[in-house]
Chain A
Amino acid sequence: MDADLLANWTTQMRKGLLELCVLMVLRNRRMYGYDIAKTLSVVDGLVTGEGTIYPILSRFKKDGLVETTLVESAEGPARKYYQLTERGRALLTKMRAAWAAVRDGIEAVSSAEQLR
């Protein structure tokens, strides 16, 4: 029962944070989908499968948060690079502010509990 609750809670938390992380890694540069997957898969507990990011990227593209560019590659077929749009950048700013507020709030609650 507890394991189910924990698994469900972890899944819900991870989904939201993974979306934030995908936008964050694209903040300063365009990236190849495979590189995004590899970059985020090393973050412990964030990605359950490397493929998890692809539906997120597809949805972001449909929502106009990212755009793609095909670039020829010497190592094989043309690569699809993702980059943030202005809309995606604006949303990332808001998401980071919201995340910072939540994180600070949790820290404050946690600190207060430790002092009690």
Chain B
Amino acid sequence: MTAEHTTGLSPAAEARFEEYLTQMRRALLGVPDVSAAEIEADIREHVENELHGAARPVEPFVLEAVLRRLGPPTQWLPPGRVPVAAQVSAGFSTLGQYIRARFRAARDAVWRGPEDWRLAYLSFGVFAVGILSVPFFPLFLVISYVLSRAGLAAAADKGVTLDAGRKWLLYPPVVLVSLALVLAVIAAPIGIIGVTVEGIEGSDRRERWDMAGRPTVPSSWGRPTTVPMADREVRAKYPEVQTHLDRVLAALPGPVAAREVVAVGFYSTGVLLAWWALVGCLAGACPRLARGLVFPLGQSFVTRRANWVGTACLALLAVWGAAAYRIAEAAGLV
């Protein structure tokens, strides 16, 4: 059904009817139980029937009587439903009240204490200011982290179990710093591997160049000067030169082309094992310190698994060390 079925309404009556239908559609907004379009069609049919014998054009007061018998548009909601507009309005009102109440509570806590609440609000305030002043965020993060840790310690001293509200105040800087520490612990060996592999390659290039008699080539800049020969050319021109790295690669198993990859993998394994053995043993030896640094992440892991990780990595490192010694021996380095 569409508007043309409700024929014979005066412009004022038509406008009133459209207003009624708009209110009905608004009331049914977001209600999945019923079809607003179907109800609108039913209402149009109903009004059409009611006005069947009425004089044309139908005046607003005649239509009003029909609409009054139909009932207010809000009645179209299923039982127990509240219109979305009313829900949104109530939601904003409640949110406003909540924010005002929290602000008053924060002000009272900062001025009057208790200490654990004061620290919680101060920490959150500093953290929020840090977010708003982006360039200085690291500084504010450190301050709010210290305040949070103090707040956590104060709460622990009082034997208070943190509720969700207090966690939201205290945890953001702590979680952020802890997360950064955990990521640093995970990323550090990867960085070490990258830097040392790069260093070994550079050292190998210099050693090869030295052993080849420091060959030079004319500079491509066109000036009457020379520059050191590129590593690729040195390798091609002086194949008899064998560096320490060449001897290590020759001692490795597998096809020649894949030996560099094998060497990097073997070296990376050793670095990772040494790193996690160190981290595991340190965390196992000082669990309170480790838990404090990564609080509230990985608390049970530090307590239960740190020693296990440290010991397992040490054992594997011993095996790796033995294999490394055999390779060094085969390469004539020891």
In the complex, what residues of A have CB within 8 A of residue B38's CB? 58, 61
Interchain CA distance A51-B41 in the complex, whole Å: 12
> Knowing A55-B39, A58-B38 touch, does A34 contact B69 (C-beta < 8 A)?
no
In the complex, what residues of A have CB within 8 A of residue B35's CB? 58, 61-62
Of A48, A55, A76, A77, the contact of B76 (CB 8 Å cutoff): A55
In the complex, what residues of B have CB within 8 A of residue A59's CB? 33-34, 78
Of B49, B71, B79, the contact of A51 (CB 8 Å cutoff): B71
Is the beta-carbon distance between B76 and A80 smaller than 8 angstroms?
Answer: no
Q: Chain A residue with minimal CB distance to B46? A: A34
Of B45, B72, B77, B78, the contact of A34 (CB 8 Å cutoff): B45
Interchain CA distance A34-B48 in the complex, whole Å: 10
Is the beta-carbon distance between A77 and B46 smaller than 8 angstroms?
Answer: no
- A50 lies within 8 A of chain B by Cβ: yes
Is the beta-carbon distance between B43 and A77 smaller than 8 angstroms?
Answer: no
Q: How many of B's residues come within 8 Å of A, CB to CB? A: 24
B68 smallest CB distance to A (angstroms): 8
Of B34, B52, B75, B79, the contact of A62 (CB 8 Å cutoff): B34
Is the beta-carbon distance between A57 and B42 smaller than 8 angstroms?
Answer: yes
Is the beta-carbon distance between B49 and A62 smaller than 8 angstroms?
Answer: no
- B326 lies within 8 A of chain A by Cβ: no
Within A1-38, which residues are at the interface with B (CB < 8 Å)?
Answer: 12, 15, 33-34, 37
Within B18-62, which residues are at the interface with A (CB < 8 Å)?
Answer: 33-35, 38-39, 41-43, 45-46, 48-49, 52
Of A15, A49, A55, A57, the contact of B69 (CB 8 Å cutoff): A49
In the complex, what residues of A have CB within 8 A of residue B43's CB? 51, 54
Of B45, B72, B79, the contact of A49 (CB 8 Å cutoff): B72
Contact with B along A33-72 (1 / 0, CB 8 A): 1100100010000001111101101110110000000000
Is the beta-carbon distance between B71 and A80 smaller than 8 angstroms?
Answer: no
> Knowing A33-B42, A58-B38, A59-B34 touch, does A49 contact B48 (C-beta < 8 A)?
no
Q: Chain B residue with minimal CB distance to A48? A: B71
- A79 lies within 8 A of chain B by Cβ: yes
In the complex, what residues of B have CB within 8 A of residue A58's CB? 33-35, 38-39, 42
- B211 lies within 8 A of chain A by Cβ: no
In the complex, what residues of B have CB within 8 A of residue A113's CB? none
Is the beta-carbon distance between B42 and A54 smaller than 8 angstroms?
Answer: yes
In the complex, what residues of B have CB within 8 A of residue A75's CB? 52
Q: Chain A residue with minimal CB distance to B20? A: A51
Is the beta-carbon distance between A50 and B45 smaller than 8 angstroms?
Answer: no
Is the beta-carbon distance between B33 and A80 smaller than 8 angstroms?
Answer: no
In the complex, what residues of A have CB within 8 A of residue B48's CB? 76-77
In the complex, what residues of A have CB within 8 A of residue B75's CB? 48-49, 51-52, 55
- B84 lies within 8 A of chain A by Cβ: no
- B1 lies within 8 A of chain A by Cβ: yes
Q: Chain A residue with minimal CB distance to B66? A: A50
Residues of B within 8 A of A (CB): 1, 5, 33-35, 38-39, 41-43, 45-46, 48-49, 52, 69-72, 75-79
Q: List 7 A-B contacts (CB under 8 A).
A: A15-B79, A33-B42, A51-B70, A54-B42, A55-B76, A76-B5, A77-B5
Q: Which 3 interchain pairs have the tightest Cβ spacing?
A: A49-B71, A51-B70, A58-B34
